[in-house]
Amino acid sequence: MMKSPAPEPMYLPDVESHESDGHYGKMIAMARAGGMTPPGIWHLFAFKPRMTDALSAFTHEVMRGPSPLSAGLRELIAAYTSRRNACVF
């Protein structure tokens, strides 16, 4: 089975260059200071924190809320899905 080429990364320069002193802005700064590339979603959360509160709450509930699946299994499913989508997770 042939694999499709990985899609080109999509960047939003205004979002990724936005300086934020909120929670996610601090996480981005710490990741960069440690020589790591912060996950792209952190830039979105730092750019418009109030607009991403619902997404953050939803994600937390899906990944950590009550479920017949353990949190570890949900993380594994998310990592597998990200890998299949050629998304660094």
| 2-41 pLDDT tens trace | 666 666 666 778 888 888 888 999 999 999 999 998 888 8
Closest CA to 15 of 53, 51, 42, 52: 42
The answer to whether residue 2 is domain-embedded is no
The answer to whether residue 62 is domain-embedded is yes
How far apart, in Å, do the first and last CA atoms of the chain sit?
24
Q: How many domains does the chain have?
A: 1
Average of pLDDT values for 43-59?
88
The answer to whether residue 14 is domain-embedded is no
The answer to whether residue 54 is domain-embedded is yes
What are the backbone dihedrals phi and psi of residue 28, each rounded to the nearest 5 degrees, phi first?
-60, -45
Say what the pLDDT of residue 63 is: 94
The answer to whether residue 11 is domain-embedded is no
Say what the pLDDT of residue 8 is: 67
The answer to whether residue 72 is domain-embedded is yes
Domain that holds residue 66: 19-84
Whether residue 88 contacts residue 82, with contact meaning beta carbons closer than 8 Å, is answered with yes
